[in-house]
Structures are given as structure tokens and as C-alpha cells.
Amino acid sequence: MMEWKSTRGLLIDLDGTLIQGNHPIDGAVEFIQQVVKLNIPFLYWTNNSTRSPLSVARMMGQRGFAGDERNVYTSGIATALWLTKELPGNPRVYVVGEPELREVLVENGIRIVDSVNEKVDAVVVGLDRDVHFKKLSDAMAHLLDGALFIGTNPDHALVTKTGLVPGAGSLLALLERATKRVPYVIGKPNPQFVLSACERLNVSPHEVIVIGDNPETDVHAGRLAGAQTIWVKTGIQSEEAVSADLQIASLRDLLD
């Protein structure tokens, strides 16, 4: 068994790893309690850009999980930080995304433009469940005018109570086809999402463990970044061999 208790940091996926729908997965709450007891720095590390850190922390708290917004690292946060680094000086962006993504961007000094009448530096695309033709058309116009094409995450579909629904990756695919441009995607499996989370924890990738249920995003990103990885078989299943450092049935397997 991996000596996870001696790690200097944990990057822990949410959906499929800690929670399934509105409910904690077996052993997940107890695992986080043990992490806190051991004083191991950790982040709730998620591709979901529709929630702010405070929103995620409240949602997790309501389900019995410890931690606050300082323990949350979303693809929306990573996107905001990437933009401010690559485009210093209050960059202007057009957003295809939900209110809490816009909130995160604004909090990081990014100016949001909601029309085609003003030139923008970048178009940011995340999951947007209220997307409409005009919003996509305006995004397309900005992209054809030379704006950077940025995606928060590539997830093509999401699991809901009623089945699969389109994810941010589906919106990216539409705009990619329409503009013949390829987006730079911030979230998993981009190893930079691991590196930026490690910067938040002030550790190196080889000092952390990435824990997730999706071998194509969580595990792959972790391995590309040089982190140790644990594949939890409570969410996305794989018919192919998964090259995680450890494979477990649920987080309960890591408890004493």
C-alpha cells in the first residue's frame, strides 16, 4: 500500500471520487477527516468551472466534508490565473460560461466584455447551461477577430440524474468546428493544472498525490506532471489498463 500519509499534499477530484450526485461516496468523508487530522495540505481539485471556491466549500460542507474555500481549486481559478499571467494588465475577455465562472474571473482583475462592439484579448469557454445562439455567435466573431481561444476543461459530457448532458468540451468542439481554431484547455488532463495547484500548496508535483476516478483526466494529468496517482474505482470505469501508482475500490481502502 502506498504511504500516502507522508505526502506533502493531496489533489483530490470531486465528482466520482468524493461525491456522486448529491451524496458522499463510501469512505470519502472519513478519508478527508483523516487527512485533516494528519494535517496534510489538500485541495478539492475539479474541472468544474460552474462553481466559485466559496460555493464548492459550502456544498462540500453540507455533505459533511471538512475544509473551506482555501481548499478549493477549480479549472475556473486556474483559467483566471493563467490569463492574468499571460495577459497582464486587466485583460478583456468574452465568456461563454456561468455566473460563478464570471465571478472568479472578475475577482482576479479580468474585465468581461459582453458584446462584439469591443475587441477582447481572449474568449473563455466553460460549461454554460444557459448558452444560446447569440452568445456562441459573438464568441465566434471574437475568435475570428484574433482573440485567444481558452477552454476551462475538455469534459465532453456530464453525468446527471437523468443521464448524460453536454459538457464544456462539447461547446469547445462546436466553436472549434465553426472557427477552425484549436483551444488551449486549462483543466485536466493538462499537466499545468497539476502544476498550478501545486503552486497553490507551495509544493512540487513529485511531492503530491493525485486522487481521482477518471484515468483519462485525473490520473493522466498527474502522471504527466510527475505526481504519484491513485485511481479510485467509484466513478469512471476503464476497459484499458490504467497506469496509476495505486488502484483502490474506494477511499475507504486508505483508512486505518
Which region among 149-158, 176-185, 235-244 has the lowest average model confidence (pLDDT)? Answer: 235-244
Residues linked to residue 96 through DSSP beta bridges, in sequence order: 125
Q: Tell me if 61 is assigned to some domain.
A: no
Determine which one of 13, 121, 128, 213 is catalytic. Answer: 13
Mean pLDDT over 197-205 rounds to 97
13 in catalytic set: yes
Q: Tell me if 132 is assigned to some domain.
A: yes
The domain of 194 spans 4-47+188-254
138 in catalytic set: no
Domain count, the chain: 2
Determine which one of 15, 138, 155, 218 is catalytic. Answer: 15
pLDDT digits (tens, 9 = 90+) for 111-129: 999 999 999 999 999 999 9
CATH number at residue 32: 3.40.50.1000
Q: What is the DSSP letter of 205?
A: G
* pLDDT at residue 182 is higher than 60: yes
Same-domain check for residues 85 and 146: yes
What's the grid cell of residue 131? 448558452
* pLDDT at residue 94 is higher than 90: yes
DSSP state letters, 142-190: HHHTT-EEEES----EEEETTEEEE-HHHHHHHHHHHHT---EE-STT-
What's the grid cell of residue 180? 477552425
Under the banding of pLDDT at 50, 70 and 90, the label for residue 240 is low
- Which residue, among 201, 206, 202, 208, has the nearest Cα to 70 in the 3D structure? 201
| Continuous segment of H or E residues that includes residue 82 | helix 75-86
pLDDT digits (tens, 9 = 90+) for 157-170: 877 777 788 999 99
What's the grid cell of residue 225? 506532471
Residues linked to residue 12 through DSSP beta bridges, in sequence order: 44, 211
* pLDDT at residue 231 is higher than 90: yes
